[in-house]
Amino acid sequence: MSAYLIRRLWQMIPTLLGVLLLVFILFNWVGGDPAYILAGKISNPAQIANIRQQLGLDEPWYVQLGIFIRQVVTFDFGNSWSTGEPVSHIVLTRLGPSLTLLIPLTVLETVIAVGLALAVAYVRGSLTDRMVMMVCTIGMSISILVYIIVFQYGFAYKLGLFPVQGWGDSLLQNLFRYSLLPILILLTVSLAPNLRLFRTFVLDEIGQDYVRTARAKGVSEGRIMWLHVLRNAAIPIITYVMSNLPALLMGAFLVERFFSIPGIGREVILAVERSDFPVIKAITILVAVATMVFNLLADLLYQKVDPRIRLR
């Protein structure tokens, strides 16, 4: 296990270097000259030259790349161009609200979707199965904006069950008051595609030889579904959930924006609107590292779910 971990961590280094090089190229040559962005419309050549010197843009490209790598290693991306706040402080303070939403959401949507997928696969081909798939298709065709507007108006404004917007300083207050409606919206949006996908994983396992053998031995259908089928279907489910976590970190920006939640997604939108390159670069690197870490965790979970898998 330790040798495998060391080898995987070592393999992350060239991957991360490739990401750093791509981000460096995009922001330094494709995204325009940061000095002109900072100087604004009313500027002069002396002011632009001064900004370029402060940012190190007058140095050769390999020196600039070295500065960028040092920023990533030390997690010191300087200050935000729009607010003057340290970028590292922005990322760390915005990460908490996003995780307050995403951790309960991931647990709930995975548990509920897996349970419903097993139940629907159990009655596969029946009227219930077809009706559930039809409802999922309808749910997937509705924009998340519709869910946000309808839920805010119905549950928050009309019924007063949840606050329309807001965020506090207490974790418990945020978790059990301000984040409940956003989690409900994201759960409603994600449940339909997850259910359809997990149902496919379960149906693939139901047709395997070991299932027919278990039935021939007289094993109950419930035990087959919840023990044998679920264990083998858990491998692609883990892959999907782990690979989707970094996307969720960025994909909740609409909910964070509508509910005034100071999370990573909302910060990305604000940074794009302000052309705040240091914040965008820091969050891009954070998501890339999170993707590699979650992929490693998925590989480790494979062995826990199925002892036959060997990490080599």
Element (H, E) at 7: helix 2-25
User: Domain limits at 269?
Assistant: 87-305
Give the closest residue to 167 by CA, choosing from 270, 267, 262: 262
Examine residue 67 and state whether it is found in any structural domain, yes or no: yes
- 309 DSSP 8-state letter: -
The dihedral through the CA atoms of 81, 86, 89, 91 has a sign that is positive
Q: Per residue in 102-125, pLDDT tens?
A: 899 999 999 999 999 999 988 888
In this structure, the answer to whether residues 116 and 254 fall within a common structural domain is yes
Cα separation of 4 and 11, whole Å?
A: 10
In this model, does residue 30 exceed pLDDT 70?
Answer: no
79 belongs to a structural domain = no
For residue 238, tell me if it sits in a domain: yes
Whether residues 111 and 256 share a domain: the answer is: yes
Would you say 92 and 264 are in contact if contact means Cβ atoms under 8 Å apart?
no
**165 conformational bin, left if phi > 0, alpha if psi -120 to 50, beta if neither:** beta
CA–CA separation, 224 and 210 (whole Å): 10
Number of independent structural domains in the chain: 2
Are residues 233 and 164 part of one domain?
yes
DSSP state of 8: H
Indicate if 12 and 103 belong to the same structural domain.
no
Q: What is the mean pLDDT of residues 224-247?
A: 85
Q: Which of 19, 43, 74 is the last residue of a domain?
A: 74
Q: What is the pLDDT of residues 151-163, one digit of tens each?
A: 999 999 889 899 9
Are residues 241 and 210 part of one domain? yes
Task: Kindly report, residue by residue over 271-287, the tens digit of the pLDDT.
Answer: 888 878 888 888 888 88
Cα–Cα separations (whole angstroms), residue 149 to 182, 253, 254? 11, 15, 11
Whether 9 and 156 map to the same domain: the answer is no
Which segment of 4-13, 50-59, 114-123, 206-215 scores lowest on mean pLDDT?
Answer: 50-59
Domain boundary among 14, 45, 74: 74
Task: Please identify, among 18, 51, 74, the residue that sits at the C-terminal boundary of a domain.
Answer: 74
* Same domain membership, residue 133 and residue 173: yes
Q: pLDDT band for position 42 (50/70/90)?
A: low
Q: Is 13 domain-assigned?
A: yes
Of the candidate ranges 54-68, 91-105, 126-140, 253-267, the one whose mean pLDDT is the lowest: 54-68
Q: What is the pLDDT of residue 208?
A: 84
Strand partners, 86: 79
- Give the pLDDT band of residue 29 (cuts 50, 70, 90): confident
* Residue 153 CB contacts under 8 Å (≥ 6 apart), including other chains: none
Kindly state whether residues 126 and 266 are assigned to the same domain.
Answer: yes
297: confidence class by pLDDT, cuts 50, 70, 90:
confident
Judge whether 250 lies within some domain.
yes
The verdict on residue 258 lying in a domain is yes
Strand partners, 79: 86
Answer whether residue 82 is part of any domain: no
Run of H or E including 57: none
| Co-location of 17 and 147 in the same domain | no
Give the integer Cα–Cα distance in Å for 302 and 310.
Answer: 9
Q: Render pLDDT for 69-107 as a digit per residue (tens, 0 to 9).
A: 888 888 888 888 878 889 999 988 988 888 898 899 999
Residue 81 lies in a domain: no
What is the pLDDT, as a whole number, of residue 155? Answer: 92
Q: How confident is the model at residue 311 (pLDDT cuts 50, 70, 90)?
A: low
Residue 181, pLDDT > 90, answer yes
44 pLDDT band, cuts 50/70/90, is low
pLDDT value at residue 184: 93
Indicate the pTM of the whole model: 0.83
